[in-house]
Amino acid sequence: MFTRARLRLTLWYAGAFTAILVVLAVAAYAVMARELNRQIDDSLRDSMSALVHSPLMAHLGDGGPRPPGPRGLSTDVFYFVIGPRGELVQDPRGFDASELPIDSLIEAAPRSKPGTHDFRADGEHYRVLTLGFELADGEVYTLAVGRSLEARDYQLRLLAVVLGLGGIPGILLASVGGFFLAGRALVPIRQSLETQRRFVSDASHELRTPIAVVKANAELLLRHPDQTIESNIDQVAAINEESDHLSRLVGDLLTLARADEGRVTIAREPVDLDELFAAVLRDMEALAEAREIDLRSDLRAGTVTGDPQRLRQLLAILLDNALKFSPPGGRVTVESRRSGSRVTLTVTDTGPGIPPEDLSRVFERFYRADRARGPQAGTGLGLAIAKWIVEAHHGRISAESPGQGARFVVRLPAG
């Protein structure tokens, strides 16, 4: 699927790049052609103006010797004068006008401003400006000033070749670059889909276990409909326990799903963090005593802005995690401090710690480092929810394991 998508993205990228390249090449060719034509036309008009005001034109038709043309004309410009009957009156540059359409030049020669004509003659490409003059005796002469377009055509052909040949490696490089960029662009999508698949697989596995336990115990009860509940209290207790576990799991999944969709609203109100955490610690004291764990606290955070329900849930998750993995006779310490505009919450336990290879993954959904931390059951969603709560409050959470025990550090903005 991703290979096909990558190829499609590459083709779209290469196609778009080719279209842009073609547009730029056509624009460059048009601009260059226009500039070359402008230079040629300016040269011909300047030459025409110099000839019109030269003694050569003043003595046309007087029968006397004809003076030479003006000096300073470009060497690649030719000119000649056509008489009223189409004869070549003067050709100072020795241009062979026999191949030119003389009649057409005479008929198209305007008398107010020069007219432009492009044509081919004897295998050459020319541009000629013509202008008609009516002398005092009523005779009309035609002045023609021309220039070869072969140099212009060669430059345009060369430009077309350069643009064409240069564009091919450009398109190839763009295709290779597009293939590479498409692969990079698909990486987060691939990771997201893989995470989603793993999440669905893990959720299915986690849901299947309590459902299987409930189903097995329910079937056992159905086999003995004549027995009392007291005689099957173990099966009833197992169904109740697994139902509670299933309810918590579904609730956690729903919370994370709503968080992913941005449908969970985080309240913003002043919260006395010390008072809130003290209440959570009181609720956890019975559980700590039952597990023979020393629960200590040092709360000096003050008031913050946040969601009291979610902050309470955050500490409850971290405390439950610490108590779960602390051995009997162990100790769990909760500390909170304010430093400038930041509040730091630390939950430390004296359990077996977290292996270094697991530290970067403990906040992933359904990930559990139970083999090192102990056999206690868990859904693997608690720390993922804790991370979401912290990030929803624009904070950061991290896990540390300095040898013995584990430490979870939460940093929240105080405002």
The model's confidence at residue 372, banded by pLDDT at 50, 70 and 90, is very low
Q: For the beta carbon of residue 184, count every other beta carbon within 10 angstroms.
A: 8
In a domain, 309, yes or no: yes
Q: Which residues pair with 131 in a beta bridge?
A: 143
pLDDT at 261 over 80: no
- Quote the pLDDT of residue 195: 67
- Quote the pLDDT of residue 373: 44
pLDDT at 8 over 70: yes
In a domain, 147, yes or no: yes
* Mean of the per-residue pLDDT values of the chain: 81
Point out the least confidently predicted range of 90-94, 240-244, 333-337, 376-380: 376-380
The model's confidence at residue 62, banded by pLDDT at 50, 70 and 90, is low
Q: Which domain CATH number covers 57?
A: 3.30.450
Domain boundary residue among 156, 171, 204? Answer: 156
**Letter string b/e over residues 212-245, b meaning 16 or more CB atoms within 10 A of that residue's CB:** ebbeebeeeeeeeeeeeeeebeebeebbeebeeb
Quick check: pTM over 0.75? no
In a domain, 177, yes or no: no
Give the mean pLDDT of 169-179. 82
Number of domains in the chain: 2
- Quote the pLDDT of residue 206: 65
pLDDT at 318 over 90: yes
pLDDT at 10 over 80: yes
**7 and 143 together in one domain:** yes
Domain that holds residue 40: 2-156
Q: Which helix (H) or strand (E) holds 196?
A: helix 150-223
- Quote the pLDDT of residue 201: 66
- Quote the pLDDT of residue 375: 44
Distance of CA 229 to CAs 210, 212, 301, Å?
21, 21, 51
pLDDT at 346 over 80: yes
Give the mean pLDDT of 210-220. 83
CA atoms within 13 A on the CB side of 270: 3
Six-digit token string for 410: 């939460």
- Quote the pLDDT of residue 199: 67
**9 and 152 together in one domain:** yes
218: three-class secondary structure by DSSP: helix
In a domain, 347, yes or no: yes
- Quote the pLDDT of residue 330: 92
Give the mean pLDDT of 332-351. 92
Point out the least confidently predicted range of 292-301, 302-311, 323-332, 351-360: 351-360
In a domain, 324, yes or no: yes
Residue for token digits 């999508």?
189
In a domain, 31, yes or no: yes
pLDDT at 86 over 70: yes
Backbone angles phi, psi at 327, to 5 degrees: -75, 160
- Quote the pLDDT of residue 353: 86
The model's confidence at residue 407, banded by pLDDT at 50, 70 and 90, is very high
Q: What is the CA radius of gyration of the chain?
A: 46
In a domain, 229, yes or no: no
Sheet of 331-339, strands arranged across = 294-300, 331-339, 342-349, 406-413, 396-400
Q: For the beta carbon of residue 113, count every other beta carbon within 10 angstroms.
A: 9
DSSP string across 121-174: ETTEEEEEEEEEEE-TTS-EEEEEEEEE-HHHHHHHHHHHHHHHHHHHHHHHHH
Point out the least confidently predicted range of 48-62, 137-151, 295-309, 362-376: 362-376
Domain boundary residue among 102, 133, 156? Answer: 156
The model's confidence at residue 243, banded by pLDDT at 50, 70 and 90, is confident
Give the mean pLDDT of 53-70. 59
In a domain, 234, yes or no: no
Point out the least confidently predicted range of 173-177, 262-266, 307-311: 262-266
Domain boundary residue among 126, 156, 186? Answer: 156
pLDDT at 374 over 50: no
Give the mean pLDDT of 229-253. 79
* Of 143, 133, 118, nearest in space to 41 by CA: 118
The model's confidence at residue 136, banded by pLDDT at 50, 70 and 90, is low
- Higher-confidence residue of 132 and 368: namely 132
- Higher-confidence residue of 360 and 329: namely 329
Q: Which domain CATH number covers 331?
A: 3.30.565.10
Give the mean pLDDT of 223-233. 81
- Quote the pLDDT of residue 405: 87
* Torsion angle of the four alpha carbons 164, 166, 167, 169, in this order, in degrees rounded to the nearest 10: 130
- Higher-confidence residue of 377 and 152: namely 152
Find which of 11-25, 171-185, 237-251, 332-346 is predicted with most confidence, using mean pLDDT: 332-346
Query: What are the tens digits of pLDDT across the range 89-114?
Result: 777 777 776 667 777 766 656 665 67
Amino acid 33 reads: A
